[in-house]
Structure 1
Amino acid sequence: MTLQPSLRPLMVAGRPDAPNTLDIFLDFVCPYSAKMARTIDTLVKPKFSPGGEYDGKVKLLFRLQVQPWHSASTLTHEAALAVARVSPENFWKFSLALFEHQDEYFDIPTSHLTPLQIREKLAKLAATIIPADKVEQFKDLLALKSSPNGGVAVTDDLKYNIKYARQNGIHVSPTCLWDGLVANEISSGWGEKEWSEFLKNKIAI
């Protein structure tokens, strides 16, 4: 229910002092995660935003759930973390763009691309979302370090997300936590009715 300072943009709705927390673990190359992200954006997020039904009651945290059996999963998540650094106000917008373009990062479409080529492709997508003067900073954050196995500038942020998921026993996406406990009843197939009933039962007005 907390975030290290560099990951504050992962709170995509609500107020930091809200008494309830909804964590959503999503993978950018998971079709079910994409479905839930769209629902969260259109049906759930507005309820926690200023003027919403549960404004001040719930904060919504997006937890990046890297699934290594998808070869490009790590690279897409690194890109999102880079956007969180250089243009935090556009983190959620870029995340939605990744979900909309996720089929371009599936295993077969990326099988003939090198990691550097995939990162360049991600930079082109980021350039459609973030300010033009931030694109080079974005690319710099995804440039490999001088150490042969040192990762990139956002590797530590990536590790934080992975470690957080591991210590909470999160294995698949999407997975949701309500106030720190896994809410197995939440499904990517939920619509307005299911979400409204869930929140009504969980939140004391």
Structure 2
Amino acid sequence: MTFQLSALEWGAGPKVLEVFLEPTCPFSVKTLRKIPDLLQLAGQDRLTVRVRLQSQPWHMFSGVIVRAILAASSLDEGRDAALAVMMAVADHREEFEFTDHCRGPNMDATPADILRRIEVYSGVPLTETFVRPEVTAAVKWHARYGRQNGIHVSPTFMVDGLIDPAFSSGDTVDEWGVKLFPVKG
């Protein structure tokens, strides 16, 4: 049996929106929550949304959480398990983040504590896959891909291979739809 990670990709349309997200960033969380509605608005046959993970060092457990998401993508449920992990972190964001990025209760938390929290909140068993070398390779791929495309912050939006600064996590889903599929006339 081969070990394989599922792509964090939804929809199958020719227009491609890549969103670079850091799982504990509040603006990335806003973006993540809008993706299902965007796919429904645009149509899964018109749009492909790819989530790219953008670990950021000021979010102190970012690397652990990114690794957990990618480990989840290797399970039988694939991208849905990864989405469950992302949503669990989003729903309990303060339990995975530091106060002012540098203090608070998480100062005493270990990476093992964080992994256990993710497993409890998501219902996704991660301990075995978390340590796989293939997950390390995937973490490195996401980091390289972001750097090669000039991604420095989250969320960043890339449409058909080009960064588009017109997109914001504060936009409505309808505004995203118009930016992706402008009305001609």
For 2:43 and 2:116, the matched residues in 1 are separated by 40
What TM-score do the two structures reach when normalised by structure 2?
Answer: 0.85
What is the 5 A alignment of 1:89-128?
A: 89-107=80-98, 108-127=104-123
Q: Does the 8 Å contact 2:11/2:47 carry over to 1?
A: yes
Percentage of identical aligned residues: 31
For 2:91 and 2:157, the matched residues in 1 are separated by 21
Residues 35 and 55 of structure 1, relative CA distance in 2, 3 Å threshold: closer
Aligned-pair distance for 1:6? Answer: 4.1
Aligned to 2:128: 140
Q: Does the 8 Å contact 1:26/1:174 carry over to 2?
A: yes
Q: State the superposition RMSD in angstroms.
A: 2.2
What is the 5 A alignment of 1:1-205?
A: 6-11=4-9, 13-15=10-12, 18-41=13-36, 43-47=37-41, 53-86=42-75, 87-88=77-78, 89-107=80-98, 108-127=104-123, 130=124, 135=125, 138-143=126-131, 154-201=135-182
Aligned-pair distance for 1:122? Answer: 2.0
Aligned partner of residue 181 in structure 2, secondary structure: helix
Aligned partner of residue 7 in structure 2, secondary structure: helix
User: Which stretches in structure 1 are left out of the alignment for 5+ residues?
Assistant: 48-52, 146-151
Residues 163-191 of structure 1: CA deviation (Å, up to 9, x unaligned): 00000010000000000000101011111
Q: Does the 8 Å contact 2:21/2:156 carry over to 1?
A: yes
For 2:21 and 2:4, the matched residues in 1 are separated by 19
Aligned-pair distance for 1:66? Answer: 0.4
| AA of the residue aligned to 2:11 | G
Aligned partner of residue 120 in structure 2, secondary structure: helix
Runs of 4+ in 1 over 6 A off after TM superposition: none
| AA of the residue aligned to 1:110 | N
| AA of the residue aligned to 2:40 | P
For 1:117 and 1:58, the matched residues in 2 are separated by 37
